[in-house]
Every structure is written in structure tokens, then in C-alpha cells.
Amino acid sequence: MTSEFAPQKFKPFTRQSIRQARQWQSLPPDLQEAVQVVSHVMPFRTNEYVMDQLIDWNNVPDDPIYRLVFPHRDMLPIDEYRTLRDLVMVKQDDAAIAAYVHQIRMRMNPHPAGQMTHNVPRVNDTPLRGLQHKYNETVLFFPSSGQTCHAYCTFCFRWPQFVGMDDMKFDAKETTELVSYLKNHKEVTDVLITGGDPMIMNTRSLAEFIEPLLGPELAHIQNIRIGTKSVAYWPQRFVTDRDADDLLRLFEKVVASGKNMAIMGHYNHAVELRQEIAQKAVKRIVGTGATLRMQGPLIRHINEDPHSWAELWRTGVRLGAIPYYMFVERDTGPREYFQLPLARAHEIFQQAYQMVSGLARTVRGPSMSAFPGKVAIDGVVTINGEKLFALQFLQARNPDWVRKPFFAKYDPEATWLDHLKPAFGKEKFFFEEGGTPDQVPHGAAVERKVIPIASRREACATHGNAA
Ligand code: SF4
């Protein structure tokens, strides 16, 4: 444990206990009411560090981290909010509240992208609870004791994990099934331990899930990834928690075994990495030989500012982290509140990308984790006078689709892949009909910027290596 930072006890707040937080009394009654009402639908949990260090209470409700963790009335359509408010605040009828909340949740597409139907592996036709296998090389593992988080994000696509929808939960109590599945699947190189947040577990419990993956029979597993938001919501996990040092030793053990320990750090806003302790956490993680990648979704009201993304990536790179993904907000939960048009998402990504050095341009996006795979919006182009989105699969159910460009009609309102229509008069995208990716029509005029030879020379000359 490092002595620069005093140990802090983790103190969570939920709907039941938020009134005890000192900031609660300063919230106007309408915001308090919204938390009490909407948190019946969306999970609500925050903690003292988030409240004290990450939220600027002079800027509430517009503060990005406030919007990230506190439910708002606009997350529900007005009629739903009114009905639920009446049930919660006036009638206080628990059975009626539960029935109405269930109805709202089911309309919210609780498991997008075929998670319950297409990604669950089976052995002898029995589904393996707590596992997902969508892409050939990566298996997702959901340990049961890691299915909560240090705070909950209001946009989270894993929200059914936290609200007691047991029939929609992924969780595994131990690794026996995982290990025997992996032994029979030599194509798998990566195991992603995810949640919730696996870092909610103490180090001893986490080791019980990780150490069985280090055995010689799983030599084909090269990368052990952990998906976590603790780097932002509770960086003390890596710095001052009682077993923080043991955690770092566990990372070192994985690295010493010859495998890559890859921490997939979830960040949403630059403020999350302005805190000294958050920066220290990054340093300590990468100091073990583990890698730390930065990823997160682009969300309206929270991080639609390219400057915030650029600052986040720049700071991360300085500390040794690797910018990885900017995702498009998924089609689940209160998506109407959080979603941005794909065209705007592309602009924000491009602007942020232009502000950072080549070292931060490892980042990819904006990327939709959709049913057929991860689809990135590469740009907006005009071909034969038709304005189009240029797209590609970064990951796909069918590996043959990866990194083959395809095109969709430009639609300024579209917010997800299924809103897009194929280009060039086609009825379906190639991945919907088992065909091949788009070919630009023969002889088509493609509008693109041409850099004159002279200015290219000038550009080179400024770096002292003119041809
Ligand atoms: S930390 Fe991750 S899993 Fe937890 S609520 Fe946020 S997005 Fe969801």
C-alpha cells in the first residue's frame, strides 16, 4: 500500500441510504423525487468517492458524473414517469409498483445483441450459465460474486444484472465449467472476466477465478482480460484498499506465467482521470506488467464533448494506458435519453482523434456492438453523388466479414445499425444475406480530398525530411 494516500473506507449509497449523504439536502425536491421514482426501474448506486471527488455539485444536474450515476425523470417517457410517480409517491402499492416496473423494463430491450439467445455456449445442449461466446477467440465469463459495481451507470446495458431479473442474469459460481469448455476450444485465446465489475471482489476471490486459467492445459489462453470501471469509480482498489498490494501481486503472477494481464478500464469522462489517486491506480496497474486499455461509450448529456475524450486519452497515454474503443451507446435501457445520431458520433470521434498524438490513435470507433458484430463508422463519403456512411466490422460473428468496408445510405437521424439502409440500391447488407461486402460500382466517381503534390512536399519539409 502506498503512503501518499490515506486509506478510505468504501461507502456506497443506494435509494434507501442516499438521504444520509451530506449532498442530498442540497438537491432540489424535483431532483430528489426523480431519484426516488426512476431508481425503481434503473439500478441506482453511488459511493462517497464519486460524490465527493467526481461530481461538481455547483453544476448539478448538468454535471456529467451526476448524470452518469443519478437517475433523472427524462429517462422515462412523461406518461410512464407520471404513472410510476403516482404509484411510488402517493399509492405506495408495492405489488402495483413491481408489476409496472417490470412492464417498463421489458420494453427496454434488456438483453440487446442476442446476448441471451445467440451468445450462450452449450455442452450436450445444456447452456453454460455465466459464459458468453460470441467471437471465435474470446469467451466472456461472469463470476457470480462480481455482478455488482462500485457505482452504477444509468446507461448501462448490463442493467438486468443488478435489478433482480434472475432469469436474465449471467453468473457462474466457479470455474469448472469454464475450464472444461476452454480445454475443448483451442481457438479461444482470450478470456474476458466481466460483470458487473469483477474488481468488486476481494483479491482472494478474484484469484480463485484467475488462477485456474494459468494451468498448462490452457496454454492456448494468452490473454486474461478483466473489464472494470473501478479505475474510475473506486481507484482505491489498486492503491489503498487492504488487499490492493495482493491484487498487484496477482497481476504479476499472471504476467510471470507468460500470459497478458489486460485490464479493460471503463472511463466515461476526463474528470475521472484528473484525480491523483486515479492516476496513481493507472501507474500501479501498468507497473505490474499488466496492460490497461481505456474504453467507454459516447453518451448524450455526459461526454458528447470531443475535448473531454481527447483529454482522457492524452492523460491515459501519459500514464501508460492504451486508448482502445469509443462505443456507440447501445440500444437498451433509456436509450432515447442517451443516444446520439451516428453522424454526430462520427464527428465527435473525428474531432477528438484530431486533437491527440499518434500514440493515442490506437483508439477505434465510434463502434456499435450490434448483433452481427462490432461495426465502426469510418466516415461519410459521396459516391456517384450519393452521400453514404463508410463502415467496417472490427469484430464479427463471421470472421470473414472483419475489416471489409461496406456502405450505408447517409441518414442524419440514425442512431443504430438497424436504422441504416444499404447503399447502391441493394435490398440487404451483405451480412444479412450471406453475400460479399460492397464493391464501389465500376467507374463510380468518388469524391475525396486530393492533397496537391506541392503541399505534401511542404508538409515533409517542415519535419526536415523533404524528398
Ligand atoms: S460499471 Fe459497467 S457494468 Fe457497472 S453499471 Fe457501469 S457500465 Fe454497467
Segment 55-91, tens digit of pLDDT: 999 999 999 999 999 999 999 999 999 999 999 999 8
The DSSP output letter for 330 is P
The DSSP output letter for 172 is B
**Cα distance between the two ends of the chain:** 54
Phi/psi of residue 339, each to 5°? -75, 155
- pLDDT at position 146: 87
Which of the two residues, 196 and 188, has the higher pLDDT score? 188
Ligand 1 atom at minimum distance from 149 CA = 4
Instruction: Kindly state the average pLDDT of the residues 27-45.
Output: 95
- pLDDT at position 100: 95
Rounded to whole angstroms, the Cα distance separating 163 from 105 reads 10
Q: For ligand 1, pick from 45, 50, 158, 369 the residue to mutate: most ligand atoms within 8 Å of CB.
A: 158
pLDDT digits (tens, 9 = 90+) for 228-275: 999 999 999 999 999 999 999 999 999 999 999 999 999 999 999 999
HSE toward the beta carbon, residue 187, CA cutoff 13 A: 7
The domain locations on the chain are: 12-107, 374-467
Q: Which of 97-106, 261-270, 274-283, 285-294 has the lowest mean pLDDT?
A: 97-106
Contact 148, 365 (CB under 8 A): no
Task: Check pocket membership of 365 for ligand 1, CB cut-off 6 A.
Answer: no
Task: Check pocket membership of 266 for ligand 1, CB cut-off 6 A.
Answer: yes
- pLDDT at position 54: 98
In the reported structure, the alpha carbon of residue 316 is separated from the centroid of ligand 1 by a whole-number distance in angstroms of 20
Q: At 173, is the pLDDT very low, low, confident or very high (cuts 50, 70, 90)?
A: confident
Q: At 158, is the pLDDT very low, low, confident or very high (cuts 50, 70, 90)?
A: low
The reply to whether omega before 28 is within 30° of 0 (cis) is no
Contact 146, 227 (CB under 8 A): no
Instruction: Kindly state the average pLDDT of the residues 217-233.
Output: 97
The DSSP output letter for 198 is G
Task: Check pocket membership of 155 for ligand 1, CB cut-off 6 A.
Answer: no
Instruction: Kindly state the average pLDDT of the residues 370-398.
Output: 94
In the reported structure, the alpha carbon of residue 150 is separated from the centroid of ligand 1 by a whole-number distance in angstroms of 9
- pLDDT at position 435: 55
pLDDT at 167 over 60: no
pLDDT digits (tens, 9 = 90+) for 416-463: 999 999 999 999 999 887 655 665 555 555 444 433 333 333 333 333
In the reported structure, the alpha carbon of residue 155 is separated from the centroid of ligand 1 by a whole-number distance in angstroms of 8
Task: Check pocket membership of 153 for ligand 1, CB cut-off 6 A.
Answer: yes
pLDDT at 118 over 70: no
- Kindly give, in sequence order, each residue whose CB lies less than 8 Å from that of residue 464, ignoring residues fewer than 6 positions away: none
- pLDDT at position 432: 87
CB atoms within 10 A of CB 53: 16
Please give the mean pLDDT across all residues of the chain. 88
Rounded to whole angstroms, the Cα distance separating 46 from 49 reads 9
In the reported structure, the alpha carbon of residue 196 is separated from the centroid of ligand 1 by a whole-number distance in angstroms of 6
